[in-house]
A = this chain, B = another copy of it.
């Protein structure tokens, strides 16, 4: 997963996979049917990992809205020198293999599921009275996800951790304000 995540689908060769997995080609093809299918499996794994990490942040927060804010702010801890890539593997894959139908659909499904989780979180914040009752939760969630996408790309660029943190906090603040009950 880390290999595909950092190098991308096309740039990852079977030689790379042999070394990393410590398996010979035959074994790789016995376990997974093809490079594409192995890649799809890593996408699933990544999405599960990402979803559970996000859920953990949301669940441990004092309140639903605080959880969402914390999640945005947690993106400040990504540094562009980090391994694996600070960028979202799903976004990276969407851009790279978006023209391969099977892979694009897999990525889209994962992103949709994450968006639904966000919608639920927003709904909870609304139920808790932290958000205006009139707000469309799905709409807010889409905006939130747009922030996340943007921030993860900035994380690939921004070398100054102070500015990165500032940016995350700016967006977190904006969320609270524009959405307040």
What is A's interface to B at a CB cutoff of 8 Å? 6-8, 10-11, 85, 87, 91-92, 94-96, 98-99, 108, 111, 139, 142-143, 145-151, 153-154, 156-158, 163, 166-167, 170-171, 174, 177-178
Contact = CB atoms under 8 A, between A and B. Distances in A.
Interface secondary structure of A, over-half rule: helix
- Number of chain copies forming the complex: 2
A145 B143 CA distance: 15
A167 B111 CA distance: 17
Contacts of A139: 163, 166-167, 170
A157 B94 contact: yes
A143 B146 CA distance: 12
Contact of A99 (B7, B91, B151, B171): B7
Contact of A91 (B11, B153, B178): B153
Contacts of A11: 10, 96
